[in-house]
Amino acid sequence: MTTLLEFKNVSKQYGHDTKALSDVSFAVKEGEFVSIIGPSGAGKSTLLRCINRMIDASSGEIIFDGANVMDFRKKELKKLRTRIGMIFQHYNLVNRLSVIENVLHGRLGYKSTLAGVLGLYTEEEKQQAYSILRILGLEDHIYKRCDQLSGGQKQRVGIARALVQNPKMLLCDEPIASLDPNASRIIMEHLKNISSSMGITVIINLHQVDVALKYSDRIIGVNKGRVVYDGTPDGVKTNELQSIYGTDFGKTVDEQGGQHAG
Amino acid sequence: MGWGWDESIRAVNDKAGNKAGQIHNKPIRTKPFNKASFVIQITLLTLVALTLYGFSSFDYKDVHFFEAAYNSLVTVKTMFLEPHFQHFTFAGALKQVIVTLGLAFLTTLFGAVIALFLGLLAARNLSSNTVSVMIKGMVAFIRGVPTVLWVLIFAVAAGLGSVAAVIGMTFHSVGYLIKAYSESFEELDKDVVEALKASGANWWQIVFQAVIPSSITYLISWTFMRFEINFAVAVAMGAAAGAGGIGFDMFMASAFYYDVREIGVITYFILAFAIALEILATRMKRKLRAAE
């Protein structure tokens, strides 16, 4: 399989002395399901946002589909973002609009300014949005306002919004951190399905180590802005976890287990 | 427990530099005496003294205070209990109120359209810092000058009349609504903006698809608030700037015809419309809330 994304010595510095990322290098193949794990503040979110340039890295190269993302100008950047879907912890939907309107927001990047402003979508786009919602089991709720949905349903709308972009890659920023275990499982299974059946590369930030180990093809462990582990889930043992989460890891295992309820 | 408490009080007193046990000897003040309370007391006393001095040193000429007060009340009674039409009919008055209402509506509409765009540029989360600060500073200046003064300023160019009133009132409405709108926009969750940005949407698309739908209830309720204000201002403008409408009739009735009964009629008209507007606004807001 070909390489879709490659980080080459990427660093990100906030201000003078806060380094969010230092010298990060790794590569992701097409269709891979990659989990990024690490303690809070390790730079996971920054890493993810550097890929679609929601945050600009300070130095290094980020190669996506053969082109260096760091060199992109406004127009190319917009095109890049349409090809990368993003899913958020707090869903980030427009609560006052209906489900289908929120999903169609994923098409805005492909539209002219005027059509986007007026909310004019083609019949084809609407059909596509509907069929994606059906796959995710939301076909009964398409005219509901988003603030009437449960957390798990909202996150599925978020996934639908990302999928309607026809993305090559999905970036998921802690998509299950605000969900109960059952909803979390449903979301993770949908993401896994998307990855395997549609061939979309998924990069996901997770706090739940067991979930990451269960669903991923590959694990990247981050601590203090550095990649400290990069390999298969089978290779993640107590030693590796301690290097990711610090030497106290064994003591906090119970809290880690309790976290998926939160 | 009691011992510990006593002990801790003593400790606190010691820390404050007081001698232990002294707390019971002096009367305890509930309000601390400091500079602020001193200044407030002095100010109040000065105001009382000035008021007394003012009343005692009025030049009453031939007016006797109680007689004058009585006569004023009689005038008010005539005004409100014996209203009648003299220089125009019921239909005429209605037409004039509608002219005033039209003035208020037009200026609010102009103000809202202009303020919507400038409000977007003034919102710190949607625009650059420099632009936002510049617009907000300008708007603060516009709001600082009363509407009547703006109308009179524009009257220099446009002449006293409805044109000056429309421009001046629009100007002040824009100032007011930019502040209200931009603050509504700033309360928006920036995560939603991030989500649409990440999907490749541009600024205009984000504004119309996320920002405005999310803050529409605030926008409507602020705009209506301004409409009510503009109605009151439009009445005053009729008199002060000759902008026409019911305000001008009131000015004529009072300053030209000295007809207090007609003033009574006009006041009732204005009151009725103001109440109707208020009820409409309340209903609309309730409906918007219900849609939440």
* Statement to judge: residues A17 and A126 lie in one domain: no
* Statement to judge: residues A51 and A26 lie in one domain: yes
* Statement to judge: residues A64 and A149 lie in one domain: no
Q: Which residue among B191, B198, B209 sits closest to A90, beta carbon to beta carbon? A: B191
* Statement to judge: residues A104 and A75 lie in one domain: no
Residue A88 touches partner B, C-beta closer than 8 Å: yes
d(CA A232, CA A86): 24
For the stretch B245-278, pLDDT in tens is 888 888 888 888 888 888 898 899 899 999 998 8
Chain A interface test: which of B187, B203, B205 (most A C-beta within 10 Å):
B205
Of the candidates B224, B242, B239, the one whose C-alpha atom is nearest the C-alpha of residue B279 is B224
**CATH 1.10.3720.10 domain position(s) in chain B:** 92-290
For the stretch B32-81, pLDDT in tens is 778 888 899 999 999 999 999 988 887 777 778 788 889 999 989 988 88
Residue A239 inside a domain? The answer is: yes
Distant-in-sequence, close-in-space partners of B103: CB < 8 Å, separation ≥ 6:
B162, B165, B166, B169, B230, B234, B237, B238, B243, B244, B245
pLDDT reported for residue A259: 47
* Statement to judge: residues A195 and A123 lie in one domain: no
Measured between its terminal Cα atoms, the distance across chain B in Å is: 53
pLDDT reported for residue A258: 46
Long-range contacts at A73-77 (CB < 8 A, ≥ 24 apart): A77/A53
Residue A110 belongs to domain spanning: 93-166
Higher pLDDT, B9 or A186: A186
Residue A214 inside a domain? The answer is: yes
pLDDT reported for residue B285: 81
Tell me whether residues B191 and A92 touch, CB distance under 8 A.
yes
Chain B interface test: which of A83, A84, A93, A94 (most B C-beta within 10 Å):
A94
Tell me whether residues B198 and A94 touch, CB distance under 8 A.
no
Residue A15: give its domain's CATH number. 3.40.50.300
Alpha-carbon dihedral of residues B223, B224, B226, B231, nearest 10 degrees? 140
For the stretch A84-121, pLDDT in tens is 999 999 999 998 899 999 999 999 999 999 999 999 99
Tell me whether residues B209 and A82 touch, CB distance under 8 A.
no
The answer to whether the pTM exceeds 0.80 is no
- The CATH label, of 3.30.1120.80, 1.10.260.30, 1.10.3720.10, 3.40.50.2000, for the domain at B92-290 is 1.10.3720.10
* Domain end position, chosen among A139, A166, A193: A166
Tell me whether residues A82 and B205 touch, CB distance under 8 A.
no
Question: How many Cα atoms within 13 Å fall on the side-chain side of residue B288?
Answer: 17
For the stretch B148-190, pLDDT in tens is 899 888 888 888 888 899 999 999 999 999 999 999 999 888 8
Q: Which chain B residues are closer than 8 Å to A171 by Cβ?
A: 198
Residue A214 touches partner B, C-beta closer than 8 Å: no
How many domains, in total, are found in chain A? 2
* Domain end position, chosen among A132, A166, A200: A166
Q: Which chain A residues are closer than 8 Å to B211 by Cβ?
A: none
Percent of chain B with pLDDT over 70: 91
* Statement to judge: residues A33 and A114 lie in one domain: no
- The per-residue pLDDT of chain A, averaged, comes to 89
Instruction: Evaluate if residue A252 carries a pLDDT over 60.
Output: no
d(CA A131, CA A152): 19
CA distance A9 to chain B (A): 24
For the stretch A130-162, pLDDT in tens is 999 999 999 999 999 998 999 999 999 999 999
Closest residue in chain B to residue A52, using alpha carbons only: B198
pLDDT reported for residue B41: 92
* Statement to judge: residues A79 and A63 lie in one domain: yes
ipTM of the complex: 0.84
Of the candidates A52, A41, A48, the one whose C-alpha atom is nearest the C-alpha of residue A19 is A41
Instruction: Evaluate if residue A233 carries a pLDDT over 60.
Output: yes
Q: Which chain B residues are closer than 8 Å to A103 by Cβ?
A: none
* Domain end position, chosen among A166, A189, A215: A166
